[in-house]
Each structure stands twice: as structure tokens, then as C-alpha cells.
């Protein structure tokens, strides 16, 4: 549904000649952009306001003790109207970014050394193609997943149901603030908002200790990243004097930096400016679960599955990608930022793919796969294809939401069973056809089977890695990871959905005994959402062929959307000029004179242009991965096509091979002990230090205070016996005192008085 609208609107836009970007070169365009950024219609505020309103309504429902599905319908309606409004915004967009002002928020004027300055961060929204692109799938998926959740959460009707949908609405609101805000402070507001909602929803089952621990872990790990982002925002203001996108990205200083970065001269760019992208990067790594801050995301699967699908797969975790895409001009000004982003993304992709291969919990496999795919997106941003990264965000959002929702349907139907050793042949169980179909479509997308959306978006990234000088190692690692991805994806599919029918109820089954357990197939809400997402996932591949723009030399829809936004870096300059800039600080890539590296000649792989060869190479990797999965994990003689040997749910041909590999599979199953290592090198020392500080506080600080409190008591204890209660005693001491005083005076007088 969503994607057909995408297509028609894109086509309509092209026919009307509403090209997303103008013909004018972007530098001159940029110089005049401040004047050009107009104000938009106020009805766009509905996208922000409605989710917030639904959240408040859910709170009111909880107060009046609603026990129906009303909260779900409220959120579905709110998100749905927000989606339609986004669509209307998209239809009426004419290519010029504009802002919509809601109300004044922070306006501080002050004078400093450099003259009068002002810090302006209004509650207003910046609409350009990137915003629209993001909001379309955020609100669309939110609507679908809220509909799914209306059925999925129905066992919890009442206050908890209201709580769930309240947080859900608040999440959509926060995400809208993050994506649509017209300044970095609004982005930060949304950033913290989605973090809060993520915390609330991971800890939804707050009586379960694992859920509470996971919620805390997510929150604390995110704080580390958020600190980086906050410092980055601060540094941006200090250095560029503005936080508003419209001003910031047209700042002559910033444009000057990019000019010098193009020539490879980074020494002209102050250190302070080069730090900004590095700090933003830390924030992005935290929110988007990149190494070394990825550990919270797999644990976040303790939350309800719709939450995993929406927040921890499709939308919130892509906020880091959004941040980097949005502030892409700043990333170009740093010598190290983009290479680090690329390498961290690559390492994350490989590491979490290896972990995913050895897990048995299907939801966790999907979680690690999300981390891995986010790694691809970061690698894409890092190797100078924000297009690839952003396109992968969209395709991944659809197929990963679909995969999660299928896993959720399985979990829901089999009383919480997620272990792939205890589920088999669901394909043949009555009522699970749509889930099987959805899972299959999701899996072929994730595995990168040719002509799927995931195939095209992943290829864009990998091909660009081979084109970018010095990054071919990244390309090879990503290719290898693509093979691993195909393997672990179809490991789940072959084991859970094919083979002999066999299932065991999960922990949530409370029947008399395990034998009369009957899985309950998903209802209409779940099935319709799964079908819609299946169609969307298939349709997303169509976006690779439509929506190109001849004027701006863009080839497909995502590229058109990205290149007309602030993530654009190419069109003002000669093609691949930035590649040359990278070349200059990369000793490995010395081919060709600076700035003239040609696409076709730059990094030939297997004797051809990477962009074309990559289709075949990555297809081979994907298919080999799937065949391996079929061989090792597939059922015995499945329709005569595969030669797998699994006859029951628990065992497969992989097992003897795994046994031969020694401790490696066990280590991968234990996530390479990363959690334990973190615990050892971070948590334990922190705990020891905090204990030391605790005792310092208790002994030194409290001790000092206590001594001052104790001194008067000691004095009183010494003098107490003199208060005998005998009247004469007091009189004697008084008379004695007077006498002694008199004697002293007498002696002084005898000695001649005081001089």
C-alpha cells in the first residue's frame, strides 16, 4: 500500500516536472538558500501533534479505566492520519526546502567578543526530501505496527494496554521531532524522547527482571552516545554560531571547509570543526547500535515484539543514519570521520553476523541481523554513498519489520517459543500460510537474493566500497558478510518453516500438560499487516528503477531524495570529487591524478565496473549462503530439491561440523563474550571505584561531619558530673570562682597593678 503510493507519487512528480532539485548548481543555490527557505503550511504540524495527542488520550483512557481496544484504535488513527498528512506534504512539495514554525522555544541573545550573538532553537520543522523520505516510512510503519499490536497485545487489555500505546504514541511524536526538527536541538529533543520511549517499552514487562535489566542497559549505553551528540551540538554552536539547518548548512565557513577538504587540504580546517563529526558519530553509534555500543540492542528484544519491529529494527535505530545523512557536509570536513564510520560499520556488520549464525533464539538472530544491517548502512555512509545507506534504511525497515512481526506471530502462537530447535515445519501447520510467506519474502530480502529490494540496496553499498579508493577491504568484508547473512537468515527459515511438523509450547503455556497444546494462528489484524508489509518489501525493489532525475544525474528514487537534501555532497562539485579528497589522505590509493579519478577506471573488480559486476558477485555470495543453509540445516529430501538431512526439529547436519570446529561455535553462541568482557573491563572496575568512593564518603566526609557533631557531646560528657543537682554544690563553685577571681585581682594589685 505504502509503496504503490510511493511509486505513483514519484511518477506524478516527475511528469509534472517537479524535479526534486533545481538546475542551479548547489553552491550558488546554497548561498541564496537562506532567502529561499520559505515557510510552509501549518497543517504539517498535524504530523507532530496527532501522535502526541494520542499519547495523552491513552493516559486518559488509563485513568478512566478503559478495558477495550480503544487505545490501539486511537494510535492507529493518529499515526494513520499523520501518515496521510506526510503523504499530502510529499505531494505538495515543490523541491524547495521550507520550515514550519510551531512556536518560539529557545531564543537567547547575548553579546560576546565577536559581537552580538543569538542562540535560536525554535519548535519548528525543516521539510526537505530527506525529511519526507524518513517520515513516510516512520509514520507508515507506525500505523501498520500499531494495528498489529492491537491484536498482539490483546492479552494485556486494561492499564498495561493503555501504557503500551501511550508510549507508542509518544515514540512516534519523538521520532517526528527528531526527523523533522529544523535545528540540532530539536533533533536532540527527539533523540532523547525516542530513547525514553525505547526504555519504557523494553521495560514493558516490568515484573520480569531480564526486561528491567535490558531497559536499563539500553538507557545507560545510549547515554554514552548521547553525551557525544550533546557535545557535538554544543561544539557546533560554539564554532558555527547556529543550530538551525537552514543557516548552518549555508554557513560560508562550513562551505569553505568543504572546499578545502575537496582539495585534500585538511590543515586549513580547525581542529574544533573536525571534532564535531567525530562527536556526532559517537551519538550515532549509540543510538544505532554500532560497535562498541551495540550490546544493548539484542537485549532490547525483551520488549514486546511490535516494539522490537518498530523501534529496534525499523525506525529508532536508523536515527544514527539520519543524523549522519543530515549533517553529511560536516562529516566531509573531517579527515577521519567517514573512514571511521565505514570501518566501524563494517566491523559491526561482520561481528554481529557471526554471532547471529550461532544463536538459537529466532528473535535474537533478527536482532543481531539488525545490528549487522545497520553496520551496512554506516559502511555505506562511510564510503560516500549516503544514497546506499539511506536506501538500505528504507528497504531494511520494511523487510526487517516484516521478519520481526513474523517472529512475533510465531512467538504469540506458540506460547513464547522462540527456540529454532523446538519449532519445525510451520509451513504445513494450518493458518500459518501468510506468516510463512511473509517470512520467506523477508528472508530473501535480507539474504540479498537477486531482484529483491535488499539485494539492490546492499549492492549499492558494496559496489561503492569498491569504487571508493582505499576501501576495497571494506567491500570484501561486506561481501563475505553478505554470504553469512544469507546463511543465518535461511537457517532460521529452513529450520522453523520447513521439514517435519514439530513444535513444543513455550514457557507461557499453562495447560494441564504439554500434549494438548494447540498453537493459535494469527488473526486478521496480524495477517493483514504481514501481507501489507510483504507487498511493501517486494515493491521497495521497484524504487531502484524509478524516480531517477536526469537533471541532477540521479539514477533512482532514493538517490533523488538524498541528493536534493543536505546529505548531498556531489552535485555542487565535479563528479566524485570527494573521492579524490579521500584519495589524497589515503596512501593506498594512488591511481590517477588527483580529482580526475574516473568511475569506470577507479577500482576495477574482476575486470569490470564495480557497479555492474557487483550484481553478479554479491548474487553468488547470497546464493552460496542459502545453499549452504539448505545443505546443513534443511530438511531431508525436501521436495527432492535439497539434500539436507534434518528429520526432526532439534538436530541437523550442521551439528557434527559444529562439533568439529571446537570452541568456536560455542564462543559465537556466547556472543564472543563481549558482554562478559565489558563486564570485566568496564562494569567491574566502575563498581569497585564506586565502592571506594562510597567508603570515602562514608568514612572521610561523613566522619568529619560526625566529629564536629561529636565534640560538643564529648565536652558535655566531661562536664556532666559537675551538674550534681545539689544547690550548695553550685553555690560553692560559684563562691570559689569569685574567690579565685578576687585573689587574682589581689595578686595583680600587689605586684603593682596592670601597667
Partner 1 sequence: MDHLLHSTQLAQLAFPEAVPAVTMAHYLFVSAAMFVMGLVGFLTRKNMIVMFLCTELMFQGAGLALIAFGRHHLGADGQTFVIFVLCVAAAEAAMALALVVLLFRHKETLSAQAWKELNG
- Contact code string over 677-716 relative to partner 1, x by CB under 8 A: ----------------------------------------
Span of 19-27, 284-292, 335-343, 718-726 interacting with partner 1 by CB under 8 A = 718-726
> Which stretches of 468-597 are DSSP H helices?
472-497, 524-540, 557-563, 577-584
- Contact code string over 280-309 relative to partner 1, x by CB under 8 A: ------------------------------
Closer to partner 1 by Cβ: residue 11 or 741 = 741
Nearest by Cα to 74 from 161, 138, 5:
161
Closer to partner 1 by Cβ: residue 719 or 747 = 719
Q: Residue 744, Cβ neighbours under 10 Å: how many?
A: 10
Least distance from partner 1 to the Cβ atom of residue 752, Å: 23
Least distance from partner 1 to the Cβ atom of residue 680, Å: 59
The rounded radius of gyration (Å) of the Cα atoms in the chain is 32
> Backbone phi, then psi, for 285, in 5-degree steps?
-65, -35
Half-sphere exposure of 609 (CA within 13 A, CB side): 6
Determine the Cα–Cα distance for residues 504 and 511; give it in Å rounded to an integer: 12
Least distance from partner 1 to the Cβ atom of residue 709, Å: 20
Closer to partner 1 by Cβ: residue 641 or 719 = 719
Closer to partner 1 by Cβ: residue 693 or 717 = 717
Closer to partner 1 by Cβ: residue 92 or 724 = 724
Say how many residues make up the chain. Answer: 755
Least distance from partner 1 to the Cβ atom of residue 720, Å: 5
DSSP 370: H
Span of 219-227, 264-272, 601-609, 721-729 interacting with partner 1 by CB under 8 A = 721-729
Among 17, 114, 663, 721, binds partner 1 (CB under 8 A): 721
- Torsion angle, alpha carbons of 474, 403, 562, 377, to 10: -20
Bridge-based pairing state of the strands 502-503 and 423-424: antiparallel
Closer to partner 1 by Cβ: residue 107 or 739 = 739
Site for partner 1 in 345-404 (CB under 8 A): none
Least distance from partner 1 to the Cβ atom of residue 702, Å: 29
Among 111, 720, 751, 753, binds partner 1 (CB under 8 A): 720
Least distance from partner 1 to the Cβ atom of residue 732, Å: 6
Site for partner 1 in 723-752 (CB under 8 A): 723-728, 731-732, 735
Least distance from partner 1 to the Cβ atom of residue 739, Å: 10
Closer to partner 1 by Cβ: residue 641 or 726 = 726
- DSSP characters for 589-654? ---SSTT---HHHHS-SSSS-HHHHHHHHHHHHHHHHHHHHHHHHSBTTGGGT----B-SSS--TH
Least distance from partner 1 to the Cβ atom of residue 722, Å: 7
As given in the structure block, the three cell numbers for residue 457 are 540496496
Contact residues for 626 (Cβ-Cβ < 8 A; gap 6+): 447, 449, 486, 487, 490
Among 64, 660, 719, 750, binds partner 1 (CB under 8 A): 719
Least distance from partner 1 to the Cβ atom of residue 693, Å: 41
Given a contact cutoff of 8 angstroms between Cβ atoms, the answer to whether 655 and 420 are in contact is no
Closer to partner 1 by Cβ: residue 108 or 727 = 727
Least distance from partner 1 to the Cβ atom of residue 754, Å: 22
Least distance from partner 1 to the Cβ atom of residue 738, Å: 10
Site for partner 1 in 190-209 (CB under 8 A): none
Least distance from partner 1 to the Cβ atom of residue 734, Å: 10
Residue 718 binds to partner 1 (criterion: CB under 8 A) = no
Least distance from partner 1 to the Cβ atom of residue 724, Å: 5
Determine the Cα–Cα distance for residues 583 and 592; give it in Å rounded to an integer: 10
Closer to partner 1 by Cβ: residue 23 or 720 = 720
Contact residues for 89 (Cβ-Cβ < 8 A; gap 6+): 40, 44, 47, 127, 132, 135
How many amino acids of this chain bind partner 1 (CB under 8 A)? Answer: 13
Angle between helical axes of 129-152 and 2-15 (0-180°, round to 10): 160
Determine the Cα–Cα distance for residues 484 and 628; give it in Å rounded to an integer: 10
CA distances from 59 to 49, 53, 73, 661 (A): 16, 10, 14, 54
* Secondary structure, 3-state, 661-695: CCCHHHHHHCHHHHHHHHHHHHHHHHHHHHHHHHH
As given in the structure block, the three cell numbers for residue 504 are 513444543
Closer to partner 1 by Cβ: residue 271 or 720 = 720
Site for partner 1 in 226-245 (CB under 8 A): none
Quick one: 166 exposed, middle or buried, by C-beta within 10 A (0-12, 13-18, 19+)? buried
Least distance from partner 1 to the Cβ atom of residue 743, Å: 15
Closer to partner 1 by Cβ: residue 12 or 735 = 735
Closer to partner 1 by Cβ: residue 118 or 723 = 723
Bridge partner list, 549 = 554
As given in the structure block, the three cell numbers for residue 691 are 565502592
What separation, in Å, do the N-terminal and C-terminal C-alpha atoms of the chain show?
109
Least distance from partner 1 to the Cβ atom of residue 727, Å: 4
Helix/strand/coil percent split, the chain, to 5 = 70, 5, 25
Closer to partner 1 by Cβ: residue 606 or 743 = 743
As given in the structure block, the three cell numbers for residue 57 are 488520550
Closer to partner 1 by Cβ: residue 641 or 718 = 718
Closer to partner 1 by Cβ: residue 35 or 727 = 727
Among 722, 751, 752, 755, binds partner 1 (CB under 8 A): 722
Determine the Cα–Cα distance for residues 307 and 148; give it in Å rounded to an integer: 11
Residues that bind partner 1 (CB under 8 A): 719-728, 731-732, 735
Amino acid at each position: 500500500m505504502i509503496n504503490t503510493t510511493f511509486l505513483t507519487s514519484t511518477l506524478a512528480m516527475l511528469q509534472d516536472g517537479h524535479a526534486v532539485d533545481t538546475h542551479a548548481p548547489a553552491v550558488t543555490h546554497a548561498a541564496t538558500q537562506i532567502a529561499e527557505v520559505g515557510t510552509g503550511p501549518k497543517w504539517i504540524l498535524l504530523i507532530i501533534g496527532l501522535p502526541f495527542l494520542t499519547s495523552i488520550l491513552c493516559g486518559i483512557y488509563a485513568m478512566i479505566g478503559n478495558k477495550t481496544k480503544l487505545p490501539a484504535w486511537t494510535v492507529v488513527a493518529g499515526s494513520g492520519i499523520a501518515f496521510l498528512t506526510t503523504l499530502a506534504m510529499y505531494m505538495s512539495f515543490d523541491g524547495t526546502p521550507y520550515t514550519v514554525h510551531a512556536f518560539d522555544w529557545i531564543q537567547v541573545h547575548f553579546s560576546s567578543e565577536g559581537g552580538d550573538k543569538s542562540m535560536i532553537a525554535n519548535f519548528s520543522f525543516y521539510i526537505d526530501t530527506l525529511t519526507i523520505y524518513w517520515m513516510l516510512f516512520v509514520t507508515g510503519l507506525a500505523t501498520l505496527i500499531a494495528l498489529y499490536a492491537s491484536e498482539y497485545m490483546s492479552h494485556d487489555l486494561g492499564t498495561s494496554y493503555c501504557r503500551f500505546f501511550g508510549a507508542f504514541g509518544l515514540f512516534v511524536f519523538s521520532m517526528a521531532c527528531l526527523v523533522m526538527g529544523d535545528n540540532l536541538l530539536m533533533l536532540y529533543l527527539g533523540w532523547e524522547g525516542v530513547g525514553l520511549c525505547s526504555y519504557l517499552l523494553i521495560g514493558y514487562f516490568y515484573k520480569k527482571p531480564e526486561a528491567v535489566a535490558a531497559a536499563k542497559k539500553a538507557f545507560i549505553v545510549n547515554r554514552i552516545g548521547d553525551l557525544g551528540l550533546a557535545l557535538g551540538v554544543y561544539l557546533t554552536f560554539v564554532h558555527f554560531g547556529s543550530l538551525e539547518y537552514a543557516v548552518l548548512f549555508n554557513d560560508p565557513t562550513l562551505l569553505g571547509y568543504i572546499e578545502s577538504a575537496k582539495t585534500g587540504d585538511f590543515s586549513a580546517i580547525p581542529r574544533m570543526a573536525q571534532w564535531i563529526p567525530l562527536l556526532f558519530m559517537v551519538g550515532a553509534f549509540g543510538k544505532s547500535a554500532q560497535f562498541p555500543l551495540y550490546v544493548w540492542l539484542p537485549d532490547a528484544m525483551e520488549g514486546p515484539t511490535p516494539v522490537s519491529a518498530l523501534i529496534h529494527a525499523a525506525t529508532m535505530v536508523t536515527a544514527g543514519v539520519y543524523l549522519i545523512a543530515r549533517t553529511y557536509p560536516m562529516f566531509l570536513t573531517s579527515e577521519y570521520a567517514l573512514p571511521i564510520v565505514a570501518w566501524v560499520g563494517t566491523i559491526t556488520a561482520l561481528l554481529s553476523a557471526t554471532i547471529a549464525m550461532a544463536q538459537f533464539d529466532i528473535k535474537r538472530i533478527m536482532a543481531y541481523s539488525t545490528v549487522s544491517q545497520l553496520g551496512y548502512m554506516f559502511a555505506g555512509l562511510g564510503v560516500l554513498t549516503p544514497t546506499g545507506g539511506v536506501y538500505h534504511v528504507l528497504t531494511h525497515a520494511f523487510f526487517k519489520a516484516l521478519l520481526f512481526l513474523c517472529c512475533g506471530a510465531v512467538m504469540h502462537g506458540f506460547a513464547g517459543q522462540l527456540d529454532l530447535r523446538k519449532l519445525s515445519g510451520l509451513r504445513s501447520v494450518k493458518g500459518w500460510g501468510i506468516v510463512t510467506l511473509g517470512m520467506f519474502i523477508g528472508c530473501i530480502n535480507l539474504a540479498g537474493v537477486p531482484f529483491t529490494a535488499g539485494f539492490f540496496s546492499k549492492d549499492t553499498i558494496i559496489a561503492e566500497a569498491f569504487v571508493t579508493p582505499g576501501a576495497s577491504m571494506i567491500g570484501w568484508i561486506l561481501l563475505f558478510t553478505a554470504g553469512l547473512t544469507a546463511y543465518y537468515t535461511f537457517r532460521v527459515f529452513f529450520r522453523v518453516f520447513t521439514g517435519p511438523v514439530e513444535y513444543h509450547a513455550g514457557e507461557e503455556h499453562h495447560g494441564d500438560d504439554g500434549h494438548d497444546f494447540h498453537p493459535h494462528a494469527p488473526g486478521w489484524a496480524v495477517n493483514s499487516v504481514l501481507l501489507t508489509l510483504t507487498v511493501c518489501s517486494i515493491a521497495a525493489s521497484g524504487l531502484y528503477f524509478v524516480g531517477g532525475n536526469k537533471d541532477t544525474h540521479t539514477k533512482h528514487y532514493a538517490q533523488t531524495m538524498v541528493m536534493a537534501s543536505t546529505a548531498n555532497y556531489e552535485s555542487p562539485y565535479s563528479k566524485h570529487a570527494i573521492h579524490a579528497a579521500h584519495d589524497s589522505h589515503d596512501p593506498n590509493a594512488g591511481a590517477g591524478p588527483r580529482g580526475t579519478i574516473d568511475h569506470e577506471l577507479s577500482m576495477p573488480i574482476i575486470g569490470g565496473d564495480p557497479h555492474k559486476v557487483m550484481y553478479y558477485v554479491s548474487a553468488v555470495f547470497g546464493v552460496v549462503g542459502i545453499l549452504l543453509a539448505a545443505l546443513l540445516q534443511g530438511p531431508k529430501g525436501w521436495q527432492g530439491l535439497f539434500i539436507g538431512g534434518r528429520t526432526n526439529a532439534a538436530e541437523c547436519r550442521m551439528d557434527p561440523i559444529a562439533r568439529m570446529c571446537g570452541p568456536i561455535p560455542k564462543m559465537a553462541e556466547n556472543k564472543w563474550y563481549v558482554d562478559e568482557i565489558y563486564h570485566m573491563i568496564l562494569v567491574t572496575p566502575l563498581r569497585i571505584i564506586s565502592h571506594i568512593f562510597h567508603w570515602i564518603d562514608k568514612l572521610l566526609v561523613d566522619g568529619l561531619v560526625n566529629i564536629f557533631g561529636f565534640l560538643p557531646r564529648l565536652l558535655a560528657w566531661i562536664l556532666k558530673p559537675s551538674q550534681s543537682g545539689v544547690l550548695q554544690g553550685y553555690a560553692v563553685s560559684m563562691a570559689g570562682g569569685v574567690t579565685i577571681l578576687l585573689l587574682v585581682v589581689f595578686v595583680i594589685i600587689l605586684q603593682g597593678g596592670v601597667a
